Amino acid sequence: MTSFKRTCIGIVGSLLFGVAAAQADVSETILKITAISSDGHSGSWSVGLPSATFNIESSTYNWAYAAGEGNVGIEILARDQHGNPVMDGDGRPIVLGELRSAEIELVEDPQVNLGFTLVAGNAATTTFLVQSALLSFPTLTNPMAETSGTLTVTDSFGFNGATMGRLLANAGQYRSEYNGFVPTGTTFADLIDSFSAGAGGSVSSTDSYTNMIAGTVSDMSAQVEFTLTRRDTASGTTDYRIVPEPASLLLLGLAALAVRRR
């Protein structure tokens, strides 16, 4: 065996060992939804890591929920500073929003995917913040990253239209970040501006972004933050993945070629 082949085989062995030995670290909360109404009430709902299913073959954490047809979904209630439900004038809990469906997929590759359907409460507008887990992984240098998102707003009443809006002039509704838990990390992409549906209508907006991240990267997370008009419906799906730099992929290819020529 030539010295080059021995070197390449050693590279393959080292890389494969690194992949096998390295495991992603996932934050204890894998999905959190916060709602703030225009009349000053707020509350949140979350899912913990123990609720997720781990597939050892694909190295993937999954969690999903869907309300049955005709059933009420998960209600996000207004809560006081002690965590107790806030009641309305009739003594009933104030519902800020209803979660009709949700899913999160965390891949150790690494990759973070989100999905949700939310219905706003009775306030004029409600701000929703949908946050993924923080996914940490062995440090990558100068990796490529790509992200995409599709958001949809539907006029549930059928006569007054619906709006899904961004909160800040310099930020999109869907944000992907690295090296810090969103929204305190480094922004990779801010996507999707405000948009509206007409009376009885439903409108979607899609955007994507791909680029190299200069330097080292060791974690990633994503969020969708938007305002939604009274009793209207917003849904979204997002995809965010980071891959090794091209130089590492080239080394893998050369090593594999050397092994095949043994």
pLDDT for 174-183, tens place per residue? 999 999 999 9
d(CA 231, CA 162): 9
Mean pLDDT of the 17-23 span: 43
Given this model, what pLDDT does residue 233 score? 98
Higher pLDDT, 227 or 5: 227
Asked whether the beta carbons of 76 and 96 are under 8 A apart, the reply is: yes
Question: The tokens of 119 are what?
Answer: 């219905």
> In the predicted model, is pLDDT for residue 117 greater than 80?
yes
> In the predicted model, is pLDDT for residue 5 greater than 70?
no
Question: The tokens of 30 are what?
Answer: 């894998």
126 occurs within a structural domain: yes
Given this model, what pLDDT does residue 3 score? 45
Listed residue (116, 152, 69, 123) closest to 231, CA to CA: 123
> In the predicted model, is pLDDT for residue 261 greater than 60?
no
pLDDT digits (tens, 9 = 90+) for 185-209: 999 999 999 999 999 999 999 999 9
139 occurs within a structural domain: yes
Kindly indicate the confidence band of residue 69, based on its pLDDT and cuts at 50, 70 and 90. Answer: confident
Question: The tokens of 132 are what?
Answer: 């993924």
H or E stretch covering 11:
helix 3-21
Question: The tokens of 21 are what?
Answer: 């030995």
Domain limits at 187?
Answer: 24-245
> In the predicted model, is pLDDT for residue 26 greater than 70?
yes
Given this model, what pLDDT does residue 56 score? 94
208 occurs within a structural domain: yes
14 occurs within a structural domain: no
155 occurs within a structural domain: yes
- Number of domain units in the chain: 1
Mean pLDDT of the 73-99 span: 96
Given this model, what pLDDT does residue 15 score? 40
> In the predicted model, is pLDDT for residue 229 greater than 50?
yes
d(CA 82, CA 243): 43
Given this model, what pLDDT does residue 159 score? 82
Mean pLDDT of the 13-26 span: 52
4 occurs within a structural domain: no
63 occurs within a structural domain: yes
138 occurs within a structural domain: yes
Mean pLDDT of the 145-164 span: 94
Mean pLDDT of the 230-252 span: 81
Give long-range contacts, CB 8 A cutoff, 24+ apart: 56-62. 58/107, 59/23, 59/24, 59/107, 59/108, 59/109, 60/105, 60/106, 60/107, 60/108, 61/26, 61/30, 61/104, 61/105, 61/106, 61/107, 61/133, 62/103, 62/104, 62/105, 62/106
pLDDT digits (tens, 9 = 90+) for 58-68: 999 999 999 98
Mean pLDDT of the 96-118 span: 97
**Averaged confidence pLDDT in the chain:** 88
Read off the pTM. 0.85
